[in-house]
Amino acid sequence: MKILILHGPNLNLLGTRETDIYGKLSLVDINLNLEEYAKNNNFEIKFIQSNIEGELVNALQEAQSWATGVVFNPAGYTHTSVALRDAITAIEIPVIEVHLSNVYGREEFRQKSLLSGQCAGKITGFGWRSYLYGLMEIIELRTKQP
């Protein structure tokens, strides 16, 4: 079974971008950690990062044909994107929204997500482990009884 880890805009800069908020791990480091966890649980993962909203929409639409679920950090588009909300609504696989920082402890505009209501759930504030917990939950959803 395969899972998509989808990273939104500016997350390619992790490791150097606002490290006090987002931590010192690069995107490559985070992906390696997630890959190890997935492998140990007999899942395959694919990573996509894009700074372009339409490419994220395409990735979500295409994931429906090959992925069992998506762990998605929509980054800045969380707070603005009707197109991503519609894509998440349109596909039938579970999408878990994740954020490195605790968006509820930050500026007011970050506390609003256009996407959360269409996602299976949301994890925010645990640094790179927000992705890990999202991945764990997709695996749980797909392998265990509710």
119 binds ligand DQA (CB under 6 A): no
**d(C-alpha 129, C-alpha 115), whole Å:** 20
Q: Which two tokens stand for residue 43?
A: 């899942």
99 is an active site residue:
yes
**The tokens 């679920």 sit on which residue?**
69
Catalytic residue among 7, 77, 99, 131: 99
Q: Which two tokens stand for residue 100?
A: 């490195």
**d(C-alpha 70, C-alpha 98), whole Å:** 10
**d(C-alpha 76, C-alpha 13), whole Å:** 13
Provide the angle, in degrees to the nearest 10, between the axes of the packed helices 82-90 and 53-63.
0
133 is an active site residue:
no
Q: Which is nearer to ligand DQA, 57 or 103 (CB)?
A: 103
- Among 76, 116, 118, 126, the residue binding ligand DQA under the rule CB under 6 A is 76
Q: Which two tokens stand for residue 98?
A: 């994740």
Q: Which is nearer to ligand DQA, 39 or 112 (CB)?
A: 112
What totals of helices (H) and strands (E) does the chain contain, helices first? 5, 5
- Among 4, 30, 59, 75, the residue binding ligand DQA under the rule CB under 6 A is 75
101 binds ligand DQA (CB under 6 A): yes
Catalytic residue among 22, 37, 77, 133: 22
Instruction: Give the interface size with ligand DQA as a residue count (CB under 6 A).
Output: 10
49 binds ligand DQA (CB under 6 A): no
Q: Which residues bind ligand DQA (CB under 6 A)?
A: 10, 73, 75-76, 78, 99-101, 103, 110
